[in-house]
Amino acid sequence: MSFRYTYTFGDGETLTSDSTLRFRDRNELDAGLTAAGFRIHDVRQAPDRPARERVFLCDKP
């Protein structure tokens, strides 16, 4: 997903920010967390966004 937002300041100056978001799948997230030294204990659905967002319960031994 890509989007652009333009900020306009009180003095009339503007700043445009271009952003791109990349959503990784479950396997990529698991691999990234493990590679960073985290141990995954559980993965749950976010209570306010079921089936749309994951909550990873991890620790770093």
Below-50 pLDDT ranges, the chain: none
The pTM assigned to this predicted structure is: 0.62
Are residues 58 and 41 in contact, defined by beta-carbon separation less than 8 angstroms?
Answer: yes
Q: Are 57 and 44 in contact (CB under 8 A)?
A: yes
pLDDT tens figures, 38-53: 999 999 998 898 888 8
| Strand ranges inside the chain, DSSP E | 2-8, 14-20, 39-45, 54-59
Domain extent listing, the chain: 24-61
Q: Return the half-sphere exposure (C-beta side, CA atoms, 13 A cut-off) of residue 9.
A: 5
Q: How far apart are CA 55 and CA 45, in angstroms?
A: 6
Instruction: Give the pair of three-digit tokens for residue 54.
Output: 């994951």
